[in-house]
Chain A
Amino acid sequence: MTPAATPSAIVVDAVSVERNGVRVLESVTTTIDAHRVAVIGANGSGKSTFARLLNGLIVPSSGSVRVAGLDPVRQARKVRELVAFLFTNPESQIIMPTVAEDVAFSLRASGLPREEVSRRVIGILRHYGLDDLADRPAHELSGGQKQLLALCSGLVREPGILVADEPTTLLDAANTRRVSDALIALPQRLIVVTHDLALAARCDTALLFDRGRLIAQGDPGELIARYERELC
């Protein structure tokens, strides 16, 4: 039985996702109330589909999702103000030509005065050590810098939740560490889909997926051990 949820919780109730006759997510029910949540499992286990449900990028075939009481599909705009999304490949989420412009792009529809937009952009770039690169073309950045830029572009809107889909998969060890440290230090709730078990171990709780099913939820250490023992 699902425990009583706090108002800010993410509640997923009997959600299935079916595509072309194939069930890619099977009756997933969970309540997420922890600060840092790791989503682990083998390739094809449904982790990324689950993550994309949380801000309406994928629509459930049945069941319901509520993020702080909001429906990610019917209240997509409100949910996307609340939930930022970090994709695996930063290349595809950097929209504008230069670093500062890309971060400012996230505030385009905010109606904030230009000075306030600049202040926020420089503030967040400085926080992640990218302020010296503000006017550099985004395509000249390293992989780690691009992922941090994508993180800045998501966080500049001051969301309450960050969903990250394998954010360190394309990075080398040093950049993996840098991005992982940044994610773990976030004041926002973090839902991170990852194959990086060191990152998963630093979360407060974990969800373990296997063949479209959520098979366990709980302590990351225990779930990582089970994943390595039974599913690897």
Chain B
Amino acid sequence: MAGPLSLYVPGTSPLHRLPASVKLLGLLIGGLVITVPRPEPLLLGVAAAVLVALYLVAGLGLTELARQVWAVRWIIVVVLVGQLLFLPWHVAALTSIRMLLAILLAALVTLTTRASDILEAIERGLGPLRRLGVRTERIALVLGMAIRAVPIVIDLASEARDSQRARGVGGGPTAMVVPLLVGALRHADDVADALAARGMDDDEEPVMLEGSERLRGASRRPPRR
């Protein structure tokens, strides 16, 4: 079963074997087909049928499909309620269904593709930007770290909430913000050190900072003792 972020589910289905670049292109085209034309019940019905078939072909089954729908239920509810304020109910419903299908299509790509393959495909796709001086490997790295950071931030939020409860303080959003922010910043600091230690701070020449006290890759923080 996948984690909260539709992470990769190992398999050997035809969809698993397709190159990541082809799947990303398919996602782009499929996303446009679902979202650009006027939302018609027939089009969305066909799209939904194709999506169900793809989940079955990928060996993920209807349970995984249902799990993905459940995971985004609040997003869909918020979108639906927002639109109901301004649009007729059937248009609001079709637009929300359209968004749900697009999300499920994107989830299908991440469920059948390793994150590293997606990042590699993105890095390759951005290749031409290298001529303009863009460090495309950095973009791919940031995307990978963002995926990895989500469960960590969820854990930090959960810790902060539990800590508030244990102290008998209400777990309101305001009380959550400070510990969550501090935890996230501390984590970011630790990750920066870990990246440097793993050789990802790859500038050949050291860069002098803070009156020559610190060099690139060296800790900005007060040292731990």
Interface size class on chain A is 35 or more
A199 within 8 A of B: no
Among B148, B199, B222, point to the contact of A80 (Cβ < 8 A): B199
How many A-B contacts if CB must be within 8 Å? 145
Kindly list chain A residues whose C-beta atoms are within 8 Å of the C-beta of B197. Answer: 55, 57, 80, 84-85, 87, 93, 154
Among A57, A89, A96, point to the contact of B148 (Cβ < 8 A): A96
B8/A48 in contact, CB under 8 A: no
Interface centre among A49, A85, A97, A98 (most CB of B within 10 A): A97
Among A85, A95, A139, A157, point to the contact of B145 (Cβ < 8 A): A95
B144/A96 in contact, CB under 8 A: yes
A154/B148 in contact, CB under 8 A: no
B115/A91 in contact, CB under 8 A: no
Among A19, A85, A94, A98, point to the contact of B115 (Cβ < 8 A): A98
A106/B198 in contact, CB under 8 A: yes
Contact with B along A63-75 (1 / 0, CB 8 A): 0000000000110
Given contacts A24-B225, A95-B194, contact A57 B144 (CB under 8 A): no
CA distance A73 to B206 in the complex (A): 8
Given contacts A56-B217, A76-B206, contact A140 B222 (CB under 8 A): no
Kindly list chain B residues whose C-beta atoms are within 8 Å of the C-beta of A140. Answer: 3
Kindly list chain A residues whose C-beta atoms are within 8 Å of the C-beta of B193. Answer: 52, 57, 87, 92
A57/B190 in contact, CB under 8 A: no
Given contacts A46-B225, A57-B218, A98-B7, contact A92 B190 (CB under 8 A): yes
Kindly list chain B residues whose C-beta atoms are within 8 Å of the C-beta of A108. Answer: 137, 200
Interface centre among B8, B145, B224 (most CB of A within 10 A): B224
- Measured CB to CB, the closest approach of chain A to B202, in angstroms, equals 6
Kindly list chain B residues whose C-beta atoms are within 8 Å of the C-beta of A73. Answer: 206, 215, 218
B194/A92 in contact, CB under 8 A: yes
- Measured CB to CB, the closest approach of chain B to A34, in angstroms, equals 22
A56/B204 in contact, CB under 8 A: no
Q: Which residues of B contact A (CB under 8 A)?
A: 3, 5, 7-8, 10, 114-116, 137, 141, 144-145, 147-148, 151-152, 155, 187, 190-191, 193-202, 204, 206, 213-219, 222-225
Other A-B pairs beyond A56-B217, A108-B137, 4, CB < 8 Å: A49-B223, A56-B215, A95-B191, A98-B115
